[in-house]
Chain A
Amino acid sequence: MSSLYFDNILQSERIRKRATGSDLLGNGAEVAVYPETETEVAKILNAANERDLKVAVTGGGSKLGFGGLRKSYDLVVSLKNLKGIVEHRTGDLTLTARAGTPIRELTKKLAEHRQMLPLDPRWPEKATLGGVIASNDTGPKRLYYGAPRDVVIGLRVVYPDGRVIRTGGKVVKNVAGYDMNKLFVGSMGTLGVITEVTVKLRPLPPYESLALAVFREGREEAVQSFVNTLQRSHLEPVTLEYLNPLLTQRLAGPNRYALAVAFEGGKTAVEEQLNRIQKILPEGADLEVFREKEAKSWWDEWSRLPFNETASSEANSAEVAVKIGTHSSDAVAVVSQATELTAGRKVEALAHGGTGHGISRAYVRGDEEDVLDYLTQLRAFAEERRGYLVADHMVYPLRKRFDAWGTRMVHLPLMKGIKEAIDPKRTLNDQRFVGGL
């Protein structure tokens, strides 16, 4: 494929050959283009669509290992240069920014106004706003602040043929027409290229803390009972994340199961809640408390746990990150299972689970065959509980052997109908998403 197609749209320095991705992760192309405006994106897509090219879309490149059955596309459209804040209405607690803006850039800017983007995705330095929205990435704090679908109030989207569509609006409450925002949030770039995102903001909590309840023994029933006590109490935790021993060790010290309970808000309320949690702490658990900067750096470190680059070049070894969704009451069991399944396999796993929101994650490393076997077992465990397992970081050769998305999904015929209605030529992120979408 010649990059010449795009010469009259972009200056040549913004067209690169073999610039993104790596062969191992896939989702790359011989040619990458770096548009700086929405109009350029529209022209590029229009040209690509007319020529029946297959286009992959990237932002910061932190999710190249997330899904995709194509090793390469004809063209990569990188939104790295489509960045910056378009409008920050401080009084209205709303922000509009271009899709390629890194999350960390936004949080820094917003902090100057004592406001925040209520999302805690992984790799905020690298991940872009558009990428986080398109992949529906969330962290432990979704328990209190919600997920991208709750935060996004408007989008600008370039359709595969180059048309530009606005969805939603710039106000926090809006039911005019269909809630088209929802279609694009989490659609893995298979329906359109998000160029601009408007989100609801929150005031930055003036104070924060993290209470880590470390269990000397990780008996599931005891942990679950503590979680239930917390849930039934009037405490308002921002996270109720259960960590396996290896993860606790990595972040705090002891090789034990632990529950990370974060509180954010006014200092009085936060300290009050820390007092109360101390009082209801079950026997056999110790509480370690981090405040302010300590808590912040703990979560910073947390955000850098997931794998996002190519695995080590060692032959026959693999690094895979998975997301498991279940009812929240199964999260403790999922974390135990993710830990116990390493026994007898040349595999190690960091794992955590949202006991209040139902999303668990595991970062698995080890012998390739053992990792695949581990994933198969863990997926079966989740599915027995009506949940699912998605591999959101895995090299391309492994994705050929292990279906990254699995077979548990939203109604496929309707999804296919939507894809067909918006992208009949399958121009965008072909086969990147569940069900071959």
Chain B
Amino acid sequence: MFRKKKQRVDPLIQHLMAVVGEKNVLYRREDLVAYECDGFTLCRGEARAVVFPANTEEVAAVVRLLNRENIPFIARGAGTGLSGGATPLGGEVIVSLVKMKKLLQVDFENRIAVVQPGYVNLKLTQSIAGEGYYYAPDPSSQSACTIGGNVAENAGGAHCLKYGVTTNHILGAEVVLPDGKVIRLGEDGIPDLPGYDLLGLLTGSEGTLGIITEITVRILKTPEAKQTILAYFDDVEEGSQAVSDIISAGIVPAALEMMDQTAIEAVESANFPVGHPLDVQALLLIEVDGIAAEVREQAKEIVEVCRRRNVREVKVARDEKEAAAWWANRKTGFGAMGAISPDYLVQDGVIPRSTLPEVLKKIREISQDTGLRIANIFHAGDGNLHPLILFDERKPGEKERALEAGSRCLKVCADVGGSITGEHGVGIEKKEEMRFIFTDEEIEAQLRIRDVFNSKNLLNPDKLFPKPGRCAEVKKEIKERKLAEV
């Protein structure tokens, strides 16, 4: 009986088990369901298997095997990505890095930490906070998402305005290339090692150039003081003018966030309400940090700026607890949409911040055209706009209309000189929208770089670039897939 069952197992699964151990391979249909998609749930596919390597050697051995057998594969962290980067399209083996979750080293003198890719973002700050340090990039999903995934997506967060996004904090990496070779980039934080900036190229490549198995990151000293300011505006334009005024005043806030009325309605109906008035058109949540004396001055100046822009109410958080409540309310903003709509689609455009009033007007038009409500959560300081399109998947045609509305929002962003994604990545979701901002030649130039690393296009295929990218390539891929399936 036992023997018979074993014989039915796909030989590939047996090979994978030989590398990582029987327990560390999932292949039954019911076990694969959880891996059908990541945080972008509108597109699903079935993986062939999921493997859980324990170390770099195992990752490399798995990759060598898959490369030899011409089987496509995908690296995956916590699966919190919002563009489908870790979603299988059918038949890929998922290399899950969640078992590689150690903090390997902290060197306070050099301000670096070395982590494995499955290490959770927030844990790093928690482990070093006692010594007065933190890790700056803070995507909203930071209590779940992994640093490996952050590197793949070049993740952002609310506090990128002053401190930059993930790529500005990554100093070194160990990488398993798509053919199974292991290389090191950046030499654990030695700056400017001679050569092309491959580490910079790999960061944000959405898992298409290599699988990162160890990461050296920069850690920062926790600022001496912090103040959080909340401002309510009856007019969106006044609110966005206040944003420009703050920047023009020479202040670089640590964070500068905006929510519109629909977004406020959602966060106030969800798990972390803080009593925002429901009839304001926009709120700003601003954080300044640094030397105590300066922070006090800047907070005062920000309050003044808001008053000059006819703010309805502006207040400075009394204490850390109040600031934390405001931030929890904001950081759970996406999920809060669930409280006012059965489904929602989050978009991730970037605009020159001065064009905000114009862009919001156009998004309102899209909302009217499609009959779908759109809430806006905005990293106003760096121009990263998240339109949240509310819909009900059960109603026929709404999902399609939502996708169309999302794409139109991105077109608006591209047309004012912006980008189609600021921090969520292209993944599956925005492949076609790449054409809004890049010419065929520019896309081809990027594909040429992918070929240098990932010549057989086995690592995370069919992501990031629009189809048909290159006719010859598509045909080759289909042929290879068929061969692999045989």
Instruction: Indicate whether A47 reaches chain B with its CB closer than 8 angstroms.
Output: no
Contact across chains for A269 and B291 when beta carbons are under 8 A apart: yes
Contact across chains for A358 and B191 when beta carbons are under 8 A apart: yes
Q: Considering the chains assembled together, what is the distance between the CA atoms of A159 and B442 in angstroms?
A: 11
Contact across chains for A187 and B294 when beta carbons are under 8 A apart: no
Contact across chains for A171 and B190 when beta carbons are under 8 A apart: no
Contact across chains for B190 and A326 when beta carbons are under 8 A apart: yes
Contact across chains for B452 and A173 when beta carbons are under 8 A apart: no
Instruction: Indicate whether A19 reaches chain B with its CB closer than 8 angstroms.
Output: no
B350 to chain A: which residues have CB within 8 Å?
Answer: 169, 171-174
B residues near A (Cβ < 8 Å) are: 107-111, 132, 153-154, 156, 160, 164-165, 167-168, 183-185, 187-201, 203-205, 209, 221, 223-224, 244, 247-252, 290-291, 293-294, 297-298, 350-354, 379, 382-384, 417-426, 430, 434, 437-439, 441-443, 445-446, 448-453, 464-465
Q: Considering the chains assembled together, what is the distance between the CA atoms of A299 and B231 in angstroms?
A: 40
Instruction: Indicate whether A410 reaches chain B with its CB closer than 8 angstroms.
Output: yes
Contact among A232, A406, A410, A420 with B132 in the assembled complex (CB-CB below 8 Å): A232
Q: Considering the chains assembled together, what is the distance between the CA atoms of A179 and B160 in angstroms?
A: 17
Which of A29-37, A200-208, A310-318, A372-380 is found at the contact surface with chain B?
A: A200-208
Contact across chains for B156 and A411 when beta carbons are under 8 A apart: no
- Given A171-B419, A328-B110: A358 touches B291 (CB 8 Å cut-off): no
CB-defined interface of A165-208 with B at 8 Å, one 1/0 digit per residue? 11101111111111111110111000100000000001111100
CB within 8 Å of B: which A394-409 residues: 405-406, 408-409
- Given A149-B197, A268-B294: A163 touches B422 (CB 8 Å cut-off): no
CB within 8 Å of B: which A371-394 residues: 386-388, 390
Nearest CB of chain B from residue A418's CB, rounded to whole Å: 5
Instruction: Indicate whether A12 reaches chain B with its CB closer than 8 angstroms.
Output: no
Contact across chains for A179 and B204 when beta carbons are under 8 A apart: yes
Q: Which residue of A lies closest to B189 (CB)?
A: A327
Q: Considering the chains assembled together, what is the distance between the CA atoms of A420 and B153 in angstroms?
A: 27
Q: Considering the chains assembled together, what is the distance between the CA atoms of A91 and B164 in angstroms?
A: 18
What are 24 A-B interface contacts by the 8 Å CB criterion?
Answer: A91-B353, A149-B197, A149-B200, A159-B445, A165-B441, A169-B417, A173-B382, A177-B426, A178-B201, A179-B204, A182-B197, A183-B200, A187-B196, A202-B252, A234-B223, A234-B224, A266-B294, A269-B294, A408-B193, A410-B196, A414-B183, A414-B452, A421-B451, A421-B452
Contact across chains for B437 and A173 when beta carbons are under 8 A apart: no
The tally of residues in A whose CB lies under 8 Å from a CB in B reads 84
Instruction: Indicate whether A89 reaches chain B with its CB closer than 8 angstroms.
Output: yes
Contact across chains for A265 and B420 when beta carbons are under 8 A apart: no
Contact across chains for B352 and A171 when beta carbons are under 8 A apart: yes
- Given A146-B164, A175-B421, A178-B449: A325 touches B190 (CB 8 Å cut-off): yes
- Given A173-B350, A175-B204, A386-B190: A185 touches B197 (CB 8 Å cut-off): yes
Instruction: Indicate whether A258 reaches chain B with its CB closer than 8 angstroms.
Output: no
Q: Considering the chains assembled together, what is the distance between the CA atoms of A138 and B298 in angstroms?
A: 29
A415 to chain B: which residues have CB within 8 Å?
Answer: 195-196, 198
Contact across chains for B352 and A182 when beta carbons are under 8 A apart: no
Contact across chains for B167 and A173 when beta carbons are under 8 A apart: no
Q: Considering the chains assembled together, what is the distance between the CA atoms of A420 and B453 in angstroms?
A: 13
A147 to chain B: which residues have CB within 8 Å?
Answer: 191-192
Nearest CB of chain A from residue B238's CB, rounded to whole Å: 15
A272 to chain B: which residues have CB within 8 Å?
Answer: 291, 293-294
Contact across chains for B168 and A180 when beta carbons are under 8 A apart: no
- Given A175-B153, A272-B293, A410-B193: A169 touches B437 (CB 8 Å cut-off): yes
Contact across chains for B195 and A173 when beta carbons are under 8 A apart: no
Instruction: Indicate whether A150 reaches chain B with its CB closer than 8 angstroms.
Output: yes
B420 to chain A: which residues have CB within 8 Å?
Answer: 176
Contact among B221, B352, B451 with A170 in the assembled complex (CB-CB below 8 Å): B352
Contact across chains for B443 and A182 when beta carbons are under 8 A apart: no
Q: Which residue of A lies closest to B183 (CB)?
A: A411
Q: Which residue of B lies closest to A136 (CB)?
A: B192
Contact across chains for B221 and A232 when beta carbons are under 8 A apart: yes
Q: Which residue of A lies closest to B177 (CB)?
A: A414
Q: Which residue of B lies closest to A273 (CB)?
A: B291
A358 to chain B: which residues have CB within 8 Å?
Answer: 110, 189-191
Contact across chains for A177 and B168 when beta carbons are under 8 A apart: no
Q: Considering the chains assembled together, what is the distance between the CA atoms of A170 and B438 in angstroms?
A: 13
Q: Considering the chains assembled together, what is the distance between the CA atoms of A435 and B221 in angstroms?
A: 37
Q: Which residue of A lies closest to B210 (CB)?
A: A414
User: Most chain-A Cβ atoms within 10 A of its Cβ — which of B167, B196, B417, B446?
Assistant: B196
Q: Considering the chains assembled together, what is the distance between the CA atoms of A324 and B357 in angstroms?
A: 48
Q: Which residue of A lies closest to B167 (CB)?
A: A179
Contact across chains for B192 and A268 when beta carbons are under 8 A apart: no
Q: Considering the chains assembled together, what is the distance between the CA atoms of A240 and B465 in angstroms?
A: 43
A417 to chain B: which residues have CB within 8 Å?
Answer: 452-453
Instruction: Indicate whether A228 reaches chain B with its CB closer than 8 angstroms.
Output: yes
Contact across chains for A411 and B422 when beta carbons are under 8 A apart: no
Contact across chains for A421 and B193 when beta carbons are under 8 A apart: no
B252 to chain A: which residues have CB within 8 Å?
Answer: 202-203
A159 to chain B: which residues have CB within 8 Å?
Answer: 445
B384 to chain A: which residues have CB within 8 Å?
Answer: 173
| Known contacts A171-B383, A328-B111, A421-B451, then 20 further A-B pairs from the complex at CB < 8 Å, ordered by chain A residue | A149-B200, A163-B441, A165-B441, A171-B417, A173-B160, A174-B422, A177-B434, A179-B167, A180-B201, A180-B445, A180-B446, A265-B290, A323-B192, A405-B194, A406-B194, A410-B194, A411-B185, A415-B196, A415-B198, A417-B453
Contact across chains for B423 and A175 when beta carbons are under 8 A apart: yes
Q: Considering the chains assembled together, what is the distance between the CA atoms of A274 and B132 in angstroms?
A: 22
Instruction: Indicate whether A281 reaches chain B with its CB closer than 8 angstroms.
Output: no
